[in-house]
Amino acid sequence: MKTDILAFGAHPDDVELGCGGTIAKLISEGKTCVIVDLTKGELGTRGTDQTRKEEATEAAKILGVAARENLGLKDGFLVNSEEYQMEIVKMIRKYRPEIVLANAIDDRHPDHAKAAKLVSDACFLAGLRKIETVLNGETQEVWRPKQVFHYIQWKHIQPEFVIDISEHLDKKLEACMAFKTQFYDPTSKEPETPITSKDFYESLTYRAQDLGRLSGVTYAEGFTSEKLIALKNFDGIVW
């Protein structure tokens, strides 16, 4: 199954928070997208790995992604090991994406930056012919994505480019709030965390609005790139 976009998240909800609007936009334009969560988010203060699984399934339906998988790596203890790299290599070779979206290069949660580097290294390794992988009893063909972009999460990282999500912010917010155990819910009796506050929920809009203000659109999501981006022409630029 070949996909246009393969989005990785260290935890279920990372992709929705970081680039949910971009994914919704690309899918509306006819692109295909698959999400791969590295861990089950089992160390989260609220909810359980089962509720996170159910919420992730619902969020995937809202965004309209073609598939969603969870590698079941150890939450809180991601390491850039051969074992973890090879699990991600298998996903890259399975879905053969043109573009990979990955966690922020630096962030509050240590798993995020670790996942960023882990996915980046796996994207390179997936293109090496002398690394052999087998999935479901079949030897996989090599594949290397054309681009690896990192979305922005908790920290304010200066984006190298933004995607206009003005018509898709509502879809992003709906997908994020599918993780109902994790975010703002004034009726919840579970412990408060930095992401359960009303302010954090509102920040999803005002941060997108601020990037939009700076780039000349209503709402935007920012990304950093691992290599210089070349434009064929100026037609795609928002003036």
Q: What is the pLDDT of residues 5-26, one digit of tens each?
A: 999 999 999 999 999 999 999 9
The answer to whether residue 232 sits within a structural domain is no
- What's the whole-model pTM score? 0.96
| pLDDT over 90 at 114, yes or no | yes
Residue 125 in domain: yes
Q: Is residue 35 part of a domain?
A: yes
C-beta neighbour count of 88 within 10 angstroms? 26
Find the mean pLDDT for residues 190-208.
95
Burial of 127 (0-12, 13-18, 19+ CB in 10 A): middle
Confidence of residue 101 (pLDDT cuts 50, 70, 90): very high
Tell whether 183 is covered by a domain.
Answer: yes
The answer on pLDDT for 239 being more than 90 is no
Assigned domain for 193 exists = yes
List the beta strands (DSSP E) in the chain. Answer: 5-9, 33-39, 67-73, 99-102, 134-135, 138-139, 147-151, 161-164, 220-225
Q: Structural domain of residue 48, as residue ranges?
A: 5-225
Mean pLDDT, all residues of the chain: 96
> Can you give the pLDDT at residue 73?
98
User: Is 31 inside any structural domain?
Assistant: yes
Closest CA to 85 of 131, 54, 51: 131
Q: Evaluate if residue 83 carries a pLDDT over 90.
A: yes
Enclosing H/E stretch for 95 = helix 82-95
Using the 8-state DSSP alphabet, how is residue 101 labeled?
Answer: E
Q: How many CA atoms lie within 13 A of 25 on its CB side?
A: 15
Beta-strand pair 147-151/220-225: antiparallel
Helix (H/G/I), strand (E/B), else coil: 118? helix
Q: Which two tokens stand for residue 97?
A: 């994406």
**What's the average model confidence in pLDDT over 176-184?**
95
Q: Phi and psi (nearest 5°) for 142?
A: -70, 155
How many domains are there within the chain?
1
- pLDDT at residue 236, as a whole number: 84
Helix (H, G, I), strand (E, B) or coil at 189: coil
Q: Residue 77: pLDDT above 90? A: yes
What average pLDDT does range 102-131 have in this prediction? 98
Reduced to 3 states (helix: H, G, I; strand: E, B; else coil), residue 148 is: strand
Residue 176 within a domain: yes
In a domain, 210, yes or no: yes
Nearest to 110 by CA among 3, 7, 11: 11
* Domain CATH number, residue 178: 3.40.50.10320
